[in-house]
Amino acid sequence: MNSIKSICCIGAGYVGGPTMAVIAQKNPHIQVTVVDINEARIAAWNESDLTKLPVYEPGLPEVVAEARGRNLFFSSDVNKAIDEAEMIFISVNTPTKNYGIGKGQAADLKFVELCARQIAAVAKQDKIVVEKSTLPVRTAESIKRIFDATNGDVKFQILSNPEFLAEGTAINDLHNADRILIGGEIETPEGNAAIEALVQVYESWIPRERIITTRLWSSELSKLTANAFLAQRISSINAISALCERTGADVDEVAHAIGKDSRIGPKFLKSSVGFGGSCFQKDILNLVYLCNHFGLPEVADYWEQVIKMNDYQKHRFAMSIINALFDTVSGKKITFLGWAFKKDTNDTRESAAIYIADELIQDQAEVHVYDPQVSPEQIKNDLIYLWTQRGVSADEAQKRFEQAVTIYSEPTEALKQAHAVAILTEWDEFKSYDWASIYASMLKPAFVFDGRNILDKEQLEAIGFKVKAIGKG
Residues recognised as catalytic: 163, 223, 279
d(CA 231, CA 284): 9
- Cβ closest to ligand NAD, residue 81 vs residue 404: 81
Contact yes or no for 342/169 (Cβ under 8 A): no
Q: Which residue is nearest to ligand NAD (CB)?
A: 13
Of the candidate spans 88-96, 174-182, 264-272, 453-461, the one that interacts with ligand UGA by CB under 6 A turns out to be 264-272
Contact yes or no for 44/61 (Cβ under 8 A): no
Site membership for ligand NAD, residue 160 (CB under 6 A)? no
List binders of ligand NAD among 77-106 (CB under 6 A).
Answer: 78, 91-94
Backbone angles phi, psi at 447, to 5 degrees: -110, 145
d(CA 33, CA 35): 6
- Cβ closest to ligand NAD, residue 94 vs residue 453: 94
Site membership for ligand UGA, residue 272 (CB under 6 A)? yes
Contacts (Cβ under 8 Å, ≥6 apart) of 361: 367, 383, 400, 404, 405
Which residue among 32, 78, 240, 269 contacts ligand UGA (CB under 6 A)? 269
Of the candidate spans 39-47, 57-65, 163-171, 323-331, the one that interacts with ligand UGA by CB under 6 A turns out to be 163-171
- Cβ closest to ligand NAD, residue 10 vs residue 446: 10
d(CA 257, CA 262): 11
> Counting Cβ atoms within 10 Å, is residue 148 exposed (0-12), middle (13-18) or buried (19+)?
exposed
Of the candidate spans 147-155, 161-169, 191-199, 284-292, the one that interacts with ligand NAD by CB under 6 A turns out to be 161-169
- The helix (run of H) or strand (run of E) holding residue 321 is helix 297-324
d(CA 159, CA 188): 13
Which residue among 143, 165, 309, 374 contacts ligand UGA (CB under 6 A)? 165
DSSP letter at 175 equals H
Site membership for ligand NAD, residue 168 (CB under 6 A)? no
Q: 219 contacts which partner out of ligand UGA, ligand NAD, none, CB within 5 to 8 A by kind?
A: none
Q: 13 contacts which partner out of ligand NAD, ligand UGA, none, CB within 5 to 8 A by kind?
A: ligand NAD
Interstrand relation of 405-408 and 466-469 (parallel, antiparallel or unpaired): unpaired
- Cβ closest to ligand UGA, residue 164 vs residue 408: 164
Site membership for ligand UGA, residue 239 (CB under 6 A)? no
Least distance from ligand NAD to the Cβ atom of residue 376, Å: 20
List binders of ligand NAD among 13-32 (CB under 6 A).
Answer: 13-16
Cis amide bond preceding 445, omega within 30: yes
Q: How many angstroms separate the most distant Cα atoms in the chain?
A: 75
Contacts (Cβ under 8 Å, ≥6 apart) of 248: 473
CA 207 to chain centre: 27
Positions touching ligand UGA (CB under 6 A) are 134, 163-167, 227, 230, 234, 268-270, 272, 275-280, 341-342
Positions touching ligand NAD (CB under 6 A) are 10-16, 35-38, 41, 78, 91-94, 111, 114-115, 133-134, 163, 165, 167, 278-279
